[in-house]
């Protein structure tokens, strides 16, 4: 049987009661972890290791997870610049102090993260995240084209390449994109 600390470590240091139970951790082990201070109860039904990432703890306290550019950077996708405040996804969509909140599925898929970036970030920044996800094979371009209209209208959608299985890389499209922005 895996311990609550092992399971939480595998989850990035933070997890819900349901996630811990699904991983085979008995309720009594969770409570024992809280009593011996190897695990902290940070919100109702949410637990964390004492050395867990503060951003993940803050997000979990509000029943949210990293999203958009924050999740993109954490996944190793290209980002133009790191935002001043973290971007989080939450089913409830309520305001979370010190964060930009995206209402959506938790946890977001790579496709969700890219669509959030295309909606939320400046057009070029969103395009960089999208291209990175496509180049790394995390999402397929046809799926993104199909899904993006459901994510909302954005200037980025007008610049998205429409033809060919291997569109020109961003570096070759960049001048045209910048020219369109100035016009």
Q: Is residue 19 part of a domain?
A: yes
Note whether 93 and 36 are same-domain residues.
no
The Cα 143–Cα 141 span in angstroms is: 5
E strand or H helix that includes residue 104: none
- The domain containing residue 24 runs over which residues? 4-52
80: DSSP letter: S
Q: Are residues 45 and 66 in the same domain?
A: no
Q: Is residue 168 part of a domain?
A: no
User: What are the tokens at 143?
Assistant: 């799926």
- Taking residues 32-54, what's their average pLDDT? 94
Looking at the structure of the chain, the number of domains it has is 2
Are 101 and 30 within one domain?
Answer: no
Residue 11 lies in a domain: yes
**pLDDT (average), residues 160-169:** 54
CB 156 within 8 A of CB 103: no
- Considering the chain, what is the average pLDDT of its residues? 84
Q: What does 131-180 look like in DSSP terms, one character per residue?
A: HHHHHTTSS-HHHHHHHGGGG---HHHHHS--SSSSPPPHHHHHHHHHHH
The conformational region for residue 149 under phi > 0 = left, psi -120 to 50 = alpha, else beta, is alpha
Same domain, 47 and 90: no
Domain identity same for 70 and 32: no
pLDDT at 151: 44
Percent above pLDDT 70 for the chain? 80
How many helices (H) and strands (E) the chain has is answered by: 10, 6
Residues 101 and 73 in one domain: yes
Of residues 86 and 182, more confidently modeled? 86
Indicate the pLDDT class of residue 104, thresholds 50, 70 and 90. Answer: confident
Task: Please indicate, yes or no, if residue 132 is contained in any of the structural domains.
Answer: yes
Q: Is residue 170 part of a domain?
A: no
**Residue 37 and residue 108 in one domain:** no
Structure tokens at 49: 């290791």
What pLDDT sits at residue 175? 54
**Cα separation, 44 vs 16, whole angstroms:** 9
> Mean pLDDT over residues 37-43, rounded?
94
139 lies in some domain: yes
Please report whether residue 28 resides in a domain: yes
* Residue ranges of E strands in the chain: 14-16, 40-43, 46-48, 65-66, 87-90, 100-103
Q: What is the mean pLDDT of residues 20-31?
A: 93
What would the mean pLDDT of 110-115 be, rounded to a whole number?
Answer: 93
């Amino acid at each position: 049987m895996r311990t609550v600390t092992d399971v939480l470590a595998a989850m990035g240091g933070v997890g819900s009661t349901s996630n811990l139970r699904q991983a085979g951790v008995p309720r009594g082990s969770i409570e024992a972890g809280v009593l011996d201070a190897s695990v902290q109860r940070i919100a109702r039904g949410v637990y964390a290791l004492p050395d867990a990432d503060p951003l993940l703890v803050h997000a979990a306290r509000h029943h949210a997870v990293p999203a958009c550019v924050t999740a993109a950077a954490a996944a190793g996708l290209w980002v133009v610049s790191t935002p001043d405040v973290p971007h989080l996804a939450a089913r409830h969509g309520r305001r979370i102090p010190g964060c930009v909140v995206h209402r959506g599925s938790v946890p977001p898929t790579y496709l969700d993260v890219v669509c959030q970036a295309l909606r939320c970030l400046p057009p070029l920044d969103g395009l960089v995240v999208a291209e990175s996800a496509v180049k790394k094979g995390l999402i397929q371009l046809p799926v993104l084209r199909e899904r993006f209209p459901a994510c909302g209208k954005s200037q980025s959608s007008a610049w998205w390449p429409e033809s060919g299985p291997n569109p020109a890389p961003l570096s070759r499209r960049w001048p045209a994109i910048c020219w369109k922005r100035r016009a």
